[in-house]
Chain A
């Protein structure tokens, strides 16, 4: 059995559909069925929906898993994986799964594979590809012990296709935890479109120069219907909030169009935009690595270019 975990509410989101796509294809390649564990609030909707994507069994986990940090999620996933004899548990790679996957693998006596970008099956066993050295290199690994708990990079796997059908849905209650970790509260995220789901991202780096430059990026993003991202350098400089950081250690994004404004393109940044369909780079340095990743490039100081681009977009939106 291949187990896919989702934290969606009433409906499956794009990240979960990618995980389901990978799970269904892996299941077909190794001759195993797919089960979904739906751990989100009001997750019964997502569980029901998964049946339409070729999932055989769906488990709705009741109770507030997040009240114990990751402890509740790990406990219930371990219980399900054991019971179903899972050979693999797949999760979307994000901050939550970063904490869950290694611990779940350890509890199951298996192996964790973090940030996989491809799965191939050789002799009936999955071989996983993942970036290493901040995205400068790729490695293929196979697990020495099963089950494998793998986190899948956003944008690297094709979303599941609708097959029709229904899953056998049942409910579960997360086992109690020892209370060593308690959720205290959260501050609402900084307003702005979700980077992971944005089709257009306008990202700024050190070349943007200051906070005022980032205000211009906001305007550019608004005109393009996109979200604002930032390089690690820009976050370090205090021009953008940490939750806007794109890169290996920030958000891994896969938009259709990614504007890299004043970003040189350090490997760790490029690793975060590997799934972007087209990168548009604006930079003064023709040797900047970002041009090696870009489809279109502008060799110019972005502080000069941004006002012109904003003006051109405004003219385009309301032609005289």
Chain B
């Protein structure tokens, strides 16, 4: 007991801030209108030419959260890690422009991103190859498959604690105090690193712009590229990590049957709307 405490103290005296790895993903523009959205029935994915791909909205929250931890001195080294097709490195360029210390791209085909267990296995292999980290930060879910699992699966496989849907953190006696919004209001929890946090969308976590100078400098900075071979992972091992079989993906159809309420002025429309709501038994008559 004494020994391990002593070692912990020695370590914290050497280094007071943490290395954080933030997990990024580049996805199809989520603002693409539903009328233009398509799924290729063969690949179960949207066709490649459907629209631009961008750093996902929840990964933007996670990156901003990571940057705020660095601003606060809780994190001193920040690594951006992404697994995805060769053309999804813009997200990492953005991370470098916001002065992430390192950007790592694990190159895999688009089919390798539909199963959260497989994605977790890939990212885990990369995390193990990186400098040891005390924090892994993930968005609450990826905006394409919306699984919301990868961060938690990584935590389980590392045997680290995980706290989800966090939007603020402070240092407190060697632990992190984190804030999240739950059904019981805003909750505070204390978590002992190393840990995984998933980060929720919150008004305070809108991704900063960064400076033009930093953006220009980022274009000259290297992105580390790893293949499955570099990670000593075989495609058989990856296939074995799959936990779900996708049988069908189809575009949700919405039948439009909206009845517009019209009238001369707002008062007349309001009265007509209430009358119609009563007729449809959506509103009960008072008294």
Contacts and interface: CB of A to CB of B under 8 A. Distances in A.
Determine if chain A interacts with chain B. yes
B142 to A, nearest CB: 10
B258 A235 contact: no
A158 interface: no
B48 to A, nearest CB: 15
B164 A95 contact: yes
Q: How large is the interface on A (under 10, 10 to 19, 20 to 34, 35 or more residues)?
A: 35 or more
A142 B247 contact: yes
A313 interface: yes
B189 A317 contact: no
Contacts of B32: 136
B183 interface: yes
Interface stretch (A54-62, A82-90, A161-169, A302-310): A302-310
B258 A295 contact: yes
Interface stretch (B72-80, B222-230, B268-276): B268-276
A104 to B, nearest CB: 9
Given A98-B140, A145-B243, A186-B188, A242 B161 contact: no
A94 B286 CA distance: 34
Nearest to B196: A103
Contacts of B147: 102, 112, 114
Given A137-B249, A186-B187, A132 B260 contact: no
A249 B245 contact: no
B267 interface: yes
Contact of B188 (A71, A137, A184, A278): A184
A298 B146 contact: no
Majority secondary structure, B binding face:
mixed
A118 interface: no
A299 B269 CA distance: 10
A96 to B, nearest CB: 7
A249 B149 contact: no
B156 A103 contact: yes
B242 interface: yes
B20 interface: no
B117 interface: yes
B146 A131 contact: yes
Given A71-B161, A292-B256, A184 B269 contact: no
A131 B34 CA distance: 13
A210 B282 CA distance: 28
Given A69-B191, A142-B247, A295-B258, 17 more contacts: A102-B147, A103-B155, A111-B117, A131-B252, A134-B30, A139-B44, A179-B192, A182-B189, A186-B186, A186-B188, A257-B283, A280-B277, A291-B256, A291-B258, A296-B276, A298-B260, A305-B269
Interface of A: 69-71, 94-96, 98-99, 102-103, 105-107, 110-115, 127, 130-145, 178-190, 224, 232, 235-236, 238, 242-243, 248-249, 256-257, 266-268, 270, 277-278, 280-281, 289, 291-300, 304-305, 307-309, 311-313, 316-317
